[in-house]
Chain A
Amino acid sequence: MMVIVIGGGWAGCAAALQAKKCGAEVLIIEKTDMLLGLGNVGGIIRNNGRWTAAEEMIALGGGDLFEIADRCARHKNVEFPGHKHATLYDVNIIEAEVRKYLYSMGINIMFENRVVDVEMEGRRIKSVYLHDGTEIEGDVFIETTGSTGPIGNCLRYGNGCSMCILRCPSYGPRISISMRAGVEDLQGLRGDESFGAMSGSCKLEKDSLSKELQEQLDKDGVVVIPVPKEDINLDKLKNKVCQQYALKEFAENIVLLDTGHAKLMTSYYPLEKLRKIPGFERARFIDPYSGGKANSIRYLSMAPRDNHMKVVGIDNLFVGGEKSGLFVGHTEAIVTGTLAGYNAVRAGLGLNLVELPTSLAVGDIIKFENESKQTIEGLKQRYTFAGAVYFERMKELNLYITDVDKIRKKVEGLFLKDFFKNKII
């Protein structure tokens, strides 16, 4: 059975890996020259409820990528405003590690190839077309193209192309594959009901900061510095993707995290202003390249899905990550991508599809997000284990557990230990 994964971000890598573990032949088609997509500029895992989600996945046998991220950690157990026990993986080394692992598992990857169209046969996708017209056939397809950009969206809903890691000008725009297959996209909303959301962090070259800041970052992983009074802009928080970081503290302070770069927890920051702050006199942006002016726009391209991660209306298309809902985060992409990969193989075999139990956070978030986004208010929310509405819900429902043993026992109690390790072909 041939499973084709379109888009090699965290969600695509997780889906490919899971489909392979289930026994399928797998091909990832990625438009850039790198895997991990936005994961190349993120780095925060295991903060707040993401700790629980990562451990649940490990207990379920779907923890391979978390184990790689843990191995690539620069800092563990970091605390910063509103967030506990975060791990910061090193964005400078992790892509190569994931790539090596996927190759070692026998997954095929085509880089610098963009999918632009589909060939349908009734309610099934028969094949996809690359930008040069090449047709590639498959049995089941998984779309994990994310929701970022492309340039026109970043322009209409943001401050223009900021030259983010997806590099549309070099590799061409993201397009919605599910829409080419005939299914209309859903869009996320902002507080004021305009469309989309702006990415909420940018990265500075660590070496451009003062020696003191560098040393503090290396030692603690985090630095918090008050923003000059005249620069505090609470409005900017409303447009932000990452509602878990849309706290007053993030407007009043500059929060820097050490992910190999110095991650600045704000959408963008005019360079002249930034350089007035002690320690930032020589600061320069490394991602997005134009972080002094803009950041990428996201959540304009979600496919309607069921809780098996199958796209509604198409028999053999699955989705994960930001393509599948208003999910923010690597952890969320890995969780949804893994289930998409698992069910894709089941669908290919004609077996019934599975949902993850809602007694686990990883199952509950998939169902909760799907229900919530039926309402306008729900479309204004983002869903992450790390904060905002969903972390609140985890705490209320006692889903937020940090005791690893307890999580393992819970999964065993559900007879789901190593569930994702089962070969089904």
Chain B
Amino acid sequence: MFKFVDCIDAGTEYCPCYLAEKGECIICSQLKGRAFCDCLNWKGTCIFQEYTWNNNKAKKARDFKEYVLKSINFLRDDLIIMEVFVNPYLAKQLNNIGSYVFLKKPQSPHCFAMPVSIMKSNIKNNVITMAIKILGVKTKDILDCKEKVEIKGPYWNGVQGQIFLKNLKNSEILISARGVAASPCVMVANKLKKHNNNVIVILDKGRSNENFAKKEFLDLGCKVYDVNMIDYSNYTLKDEFKKLINELMRKHDFKVTMSGGSDEFHRLYLNYIYSVNKNLNFATVNNALMTCGEGVCGSCHLKLCNGQVIRGCKQQYNPAEVFINIKGDVNI
């Protein structure tokens, strides 16, 4: 089977990383305890060469830095939009599909750091926008931020199946999103629009009767539909949602669909799409639990259908291999 092995950091200025130093590089056999080349996914640079030229050390890792908080807006008592002034470098780096940062209150210990997707990054005024759902210890701690926040970044693995999004030009995509997972989908829609794609968005009405990101999608020129997606009595897709999907699939020639929700939602949604049309490629919001973002701590590890364990914070997978039930029946 085609080994779809990809490290989102490979070939960037953060590569090689600690993993290479310890002989655990995801891509390079020479940095994985072997003595000969067996490059798993060439991204235009030789990681072993970079490592050697860097005096056999990892490149400098990302670190927390303080930035000025621009605003916190409560959309509901448990949903905020946060805007932060970052530097031009970070704004540019975060203006990409799948961007996320680690965020914490200044002085709070590192265990309070939480991964947050970037919804928008404005490279003119260097303001980044994030949507945060207040859930537990870390998110409550963030609410106490007054003038400053601490941010560690940039990271890029917030969306899985990026290869399908980045290759999409002059085409059509269907995005289905609910709750706070709509936030990274805004960035995706933004980038896909720039490549002249027709972006159709279905949003879950949820508790507020309208997703907070609806206006963002409309501003980008996407066509947006509101439905109730989930029948909570048995956690299945509602008929009205399925009907809308069928209708849209008849009308449009979608090449890719993106799922913005929990892993349970990905599974329900993608399998339904797959039952209607087996030729679509999938992208998903990455729900892996992340703590370090550097492939070290192991909290993001997950098992693919072939039994291989991967690091969700750094590694890309084909969502079809994770969420679709029919093994090996998916084109990538």
Contact = CB atoms under 8 A, between A and B. Distances in A.
A208 interface: no
B272 interface: no
A368 interface: no
A133 B2 contact: yes
A403 B45 CA distance: 51
Contact of B48 (A131, A152, A174): A152
Nearest to A135: B2
Contacts of A168: 46
A150 B1 contact: no
A161 B49 contact: yes
A195 B35 contact: yes
A289 B69 CA distance: 51
B49 A133 contact: no
A123 interface: no
Counting contact residues on chain B (CB < 8 A from A), the size range is 20 to 34
Chain B facing A: main interface SS: loop
Contacts of A150: 37, 39, 46
B35 A117 contact: no
A153 B36 contact: yes
Contacts of B46: 150-152, 155, 161, 168-169, 173
Contacts of A133: 2, 4, 332
A80 interface: no
B30 interface: yes
Interface string A105-136: 00000000010110100000000010101010
B44 interface: yes
B84 interface: no
Interface in A159-174: 160-161, 168-169, 172-174
Contacts of A131: 42
A152 B49 contact: yes
A275 B35 CA distance: 37
Nearest to B30: A152
Interface string B19-56: 00000000011100001111100101110110010000
Given A117-B2, A155-B52, A173 B35 contact: no
Nearest to B43: A172
Contact of A173 (B1, B2, B4, B39): B39
Given A117-B2, A117-B3, A152-B30, A160 B49 contact: yes
Contacts of A114: 42
Counting contact residues on chain A (CB < 8 A from B), the size range is 20 to 34
A353 interface: no
A116 B332 CA distance: 14
Interface in A70-96: none
A239 interface: no
B176 to A, nearest CB: 25
Interface in A307-360: none
Nearest to B39: A173
B2 A152 contact: no
A149 B37 contact: yes
Given A119-B2, A152-B28, A301-B36, A173 B49 contact: no
A40 to B, nearest CB: 22
Nearest to A151: B46
A152 B39 contact: yes
B48 A300 contact: no
Contacts of A102: none
Contacts of B38: 175-176, 179
A185 interface: yes
Contacts of B2: 116-117, 119, 129, 133, 135
26 contacts: A116-B2, A119-B1, A119-B2, A131-B42, A133-B332, A149-B37, A150-B37, A150-B39, A151-B49, A152-B29, A152-B30, A152-B37, A155-B48, A155-B49, A155-B52, A156-B48, A160-B49, A161-B46, A161-B49, A168-B46, A169-B46, A172-B42, A175-B38, A175-B39, A300-B36, A301-B36
Interface of B: 1-4, 28-30, 35-39, 42, 44-46, 48-49, 52, 332
